[in-house]
Amino acid sequence: MDTPKTADIVIIGGGVMGASAAYHLAKRGIKNVVLLEKEELFGTGATGRCAGGVRYQFSTEINVKLSLESLPMIERFKEETGQDVDYRQCGYLLVATNEKDAQVFQHNVEIQNGLGVQTQLLSGDEVRERLPLMKFEDAIAGTFIPKDGLVDPNGVVAGYVSAAQKLGGKALTRAEATRICVSGDQVEGVETTQGEIQTRTVLNTAGPWAGLVGQMAGVQIPIVPIRRQMFTTNALKEIPADFPFVIDFAQSLYFHREGEGLLIGMSNQREKPGFDQSIDEEFEMENFEAALERMPLLERASRASHWAGLYEVTPDAHPIFGGSPVRGFTICAGFSGHGFMHGPVAGKLMTEYILDGKFSTVDVSMLDLARFEEGRLIKEYNVV
């Protein structure tokens, strides 16, 4: 496709945020929206490398509210876009092994129940009953809700991109934004590796690269890339079809069913910010050993695949929605490792912001860029 010379809105970054925004803008009648992706395919950044988990279980009201809008959008996804995204409601089972986490779990359940999310608080014994294949002698509490689960990230991106195109939106791959033209304090255009586009509105959905895109417009965005990695196993016949997404909270160690086997990941707390997406083999061994302690049957497992991706981390682990000091330069990024599930509603919210000047579906106005300078940070405890 030829690069358009002008656009009403240019979206930089074709992961879940950019794809969702392109669709929602096109749905509201904006035909001249252009989605730019630097790679050969859409969704090969954080979105395509994520674990696909979707959950209601968060510790802040705003994140629960985002899930309350976004997860039903995923349930309706096929109806709306024609694309199957394989939503498996296997539930998330978060396990606490120390008093501090157990207290936080109780607080989280109160917040979630208060917003109508029926999360159950489990005792240590109930955790052990539900996970007979795992060794959780030290579990003292757990939380579970069956509606949490797994979704295919590539399906969500592909569904939104093709639905946006059907509505007249344009989507370009191998099109890297290299410069944002600003005149005075107003965006005037974007230079790309496929030519220049004049526009007065840019949406930065560059995920872990959003800070770099901000710099192109002269806007400081406090998002740092941090590597996370995971591996999958061969088929393990003992793992039941309804095995939940299990999180050993203190270790940030997680397991979920992937095909006939398991997907296993763990956050490396020593990881330094950076764009490296190669596998750290030494840490993978640490991850495997921690997983083996929890699930002895892994002794017979072999690795089927492994990969690394980048979290896009803000100082308070909450995303940034809205404008910036440069007029026309807007941001939807910084979801800090749990953004895939909020992508559907995030694209809708940015559409509301750009077209109506306000967020209607969920009030996310407190998640603006200015909060970092003004010290209005909001801490999310349930980051894995």
Q: Is 52 among the residues that bind ligand FAD (CB under 6 A)?
A: yes
Q: Do 256 and 243 touch, CB atoms closer than 8 A?
A: yes
Q: Is 47 in the site for ligand FAD (CB under 6 A)?
A: yes
Classify residue 328 by its DSSP letter. Answer: T
Which residue lies nearer to ligand FAD by CB, 46 or 264?
46
Strand, coil or helix: 330: strand
Q: Which of 9, 10, 11, 15 binds ligand FAD (CB under 6 A)?
A: 15
Establish if 189 lies at the interface with ligand FAD (CB under 6 A).
no
Dihedral-angle region of residue 274 (phi above 0 means left; psi in -120 to 50 means alpha; beta otherwise): left
State both tokens at 107: 């607080």
Give the binding range for ligand FAD (CB under 6 A) out of 116-124, 206-214, 279-287, 358-366: 206-214
CA pair distance 290, 347, nearest whole angstrom: 37
In the complex, what is the shortest distance from the CB of residue 128 to ligand FAD, in angstroms, rounded to a whole number? Answer: 25
Shorter beta-carbon distance to ligand FAD: residue 50 or 127? 50
Closest approach of Cβ 274 to ligand FAD, in Å? 13
Distance CA 132, CA 139 (A): 13
88 DSSP 8-state letter: B
User: Which residues in the 310-329 window bind ligand FAD by CB under 6 A?
Assistant: 310-312
Indicate the DSSP class of residue 28.
T
Taking the least distance from each CB to ligand FAD, the nearer of 142 and 339 is 339
Give just the sign of the alpha carbon dihedral 292, 295, 296, 299.
Answer: negative
Q: Which is nearer to ligand FAD, 109 or 266 (CB)?
A: 266
Output phi, psi for 161, to 5 deg: -65, -45
**Three-class secondary structure assignment of 144-208:** EECCCEECCHHHHHHHHHHHHHHCCCEEECCCCEEEEEEECCEEEEEEECCEEEECCCEEECCHH
Q: In terms of CB distance, is 139 or 177 closer to ligand FAD?
A: 177
Interatomic CA distance for residues 331 and 334, integer angstroms: 9
Contact of 151 with 70, CB cutoff 8 Å:
no
**Residue 208 binds ligand FAD, judged by CB under 6 A:** yes
Residues with Cβ within 8 Å of 320's Cβ and at least 6 positions away in sequence, in order, are: 210, 221, 223, 314, 331, 332, 333, 334, 367, 368, 369
Among 90, 127, 341, 345, binds ligand FAD (CB under 6 A): 341
Asked if 335 interacts with ligand FAD (CB under 6 A), we say yes
Q: Which of 11, 21, 30, 38 binds ligand FAD (CB under 6 A)?
A: 38
- Quick one: which of 155, 207, 214, 344 contacts ligand FAD (CB under 6 A)? 207
Residues 272-291, mask of contacts with ligand FAD (x by CB under 6 A): --------------------
Task: Please state, in angstroms and rounded to a whole number, the distance separating the CA atoms of residues 215 and 102.
Answer: 41
Of 87 and 124, the one with the shorter C-beta distance to ligand FAD is 87
Q: Which of 66, 230, 298, 369 binds ligand FAD (CB under 6 A)?
A: 230
349 touching ligand FAD, by CB under 6 A: no
Residue 51 near ligand FAD by CB under 6 A: yes
Quick one: 10 or 102, whose CB is closer to ligand FAD? 10
Residues that bind ligand FAD (CB under 6 A): 12-18, 36-39, 44-47, 49-53, 176-177, 205-209, 213, 228, 230, 309-312, 333, 335, 337-341
